[in-house]
Amino acid sequence: MGKPLRLGIAGLGTVGASVVRIVRSNLSTLTLRAGRPVTITAVSARDRKRDRGVDLGGFAWYDDPVAMVADPNVDVVIELIGGASGAAETLVRAALAAGKPVITANKALLARHGVELARLAEAAGVGIGFEAAVAGGIPVIKTLKESLAGNTVTGIVGILNGTCNYILTRMEKEQLSFATCLAEAQRLGYAEADPTFDVGGFDTAHKLAILTSLAFGTEIDADAIYVEGITSISLDDIKAADELGYRIKLLGVARRTDTGIEARVNPAMVPKKSVVAQTSGVLNAVAFDGDALGEVVLVGPGAGGNATASSVIADIVDQARGHLTPVFGLPVVELMPYQKAEIQAHKGGYYVRLSVYDRPGAFAGIAKSMADRDISLESIVQHRRALDGEEALGHTGAPQPVVLITYATRETEIRAALDAIEAAGHIAEKPTLIRIESL
């Protein structure tokens, strides 16, 4: 049995406390699987008095996480502070400069500084483990770096944010509004007081940026990802999707194309029979397409203390075994510059919801705008709204909801058609456009 691997943990929130608990409760099993004892020797957090539900006795305590790096009894630094900059970035840079491996769950840090940090790790001859940074307890990083190493990956589609999946699931199952489901997610702790990072799609974008680099051998470029959130999704859209045989999910999608990589985060309609559509609540699902293996789908808990800590522990075992691989699967010098394929070049089917004025010429104008751009319609669904009061006394042209499903078309064309329809004054509010993924 080798000498102990000594851990220093910075950040004792839900995940950090779970890591401490799992290491202590599974110590004998962990030692056998790691091939050497694993022990926590030091911790760092802002509040020493806070009750975290775990015994922290016997650990060296550091108010300054960077000071913990210099502790000779710390072999591996575990960063669970969070954030793309600030204390987390300073700590990771200090650890790498000291030649100490890093394990992190910080997707924002990697999405913004991953390539630079990988370069520092290579120079120091140490690794950065980040299985916990994407999809919580699902081993998506190891799958891409190791299990699919013999495949050319052509596409990624995934539900990567449990908060959004919970909201959309509740909206469908209980016929509740977005605002109601968001409030419940906040009450249960699934969503922050300011939920923008989650419901705006940015959390998913950071995770997708990491997966894209691993899958396609490119440098990370989080800013190149097209991002839409779920704030515009209404109960009407949820109901229409159900009637048409779909469910709405917030997806991260990355595909290799002839012009570069198309990477986007957006709500999408997916067939109910698909595994992705059947992934409900706070669960995540990630599907990879490989040329040799075909499609691989991984489903599991994408967040939570124990799920995320499980992935941190997996990286600890790799460190204990001396398993060192390039951070993003390839040496930094071999990573290709990110070449972006414009999202407007995407071609597929679309769901369009319009609030159309009920007056002569409106539908003809809409049809012409579509036909002018060679857009064919697969179906048209109209549920007339009941009129009351003055509307019921005469022809007022009151807007009526209309849903259009298109055959495959380029996004440039469907957006141009909707711009023309809006400019012509045929609709009462901005159109809702949702991509359809065949999966």
* H helices present in 98-234, as ranges: 107-124, 140-142, 162-174, 178-187, 196-199, 202-216
Distance (Å, whole) CA 394 – CA 414: 34
Q: Which of 107, 145, 207, 249 is catalytic?
A: 207
Within 8 A by CB and 6+ apart from 317, the residues are 30, 33, 34, 38
Give CA separation, 237 vs 84, 182, 204, 361, 433, in Å: 34, 17, 21, 25, 10
* Known catalytic residue at 207: yes
Distance (Å, whole) CA 235 – CA 160: 22
Name the token pair of 296.
Answer: 């691989």
Question: 365: part of which helix (H) or strand (E)?
Answer: helix 362-371
Distance (Å, whole) CA 226 – CA 400: 31
Name the token pair of 43.
Answer: 């911790």
**Residue 160 in contact with residue 284, Cβ under 8 Å?**
yes
Three-state secondary structure call for residue 243: helix
Per-position b or e across 281-298, b if 16+ CB within 10 A of its CB: ebbbbbbbbbeeeeebeb
Give CA separation, 190 vs 128, 193, 308, 309, in Å: 28, 10, 14, 17
Which residue's structure tokens are 């491996």? 101
Three-state secondary structure call for residue 219: coil
Question: What is the 3-state composition of the chain as percent helix, strand, coil, each rounded to the nearest 5?
Answer: 40, 25, 35
Distance (Å, whole) CA 249 – CA 238: 10
Radius of gyration of the chain (CA): 25
DSSP string, 270-335: EETTSTTTT--TTEEEEEEEETTTEEEEEEEE-SSHHHHHHHHHHHHHHHHTT----TTSS-GGGP
Q: Which residues are catalytic?
A: 207
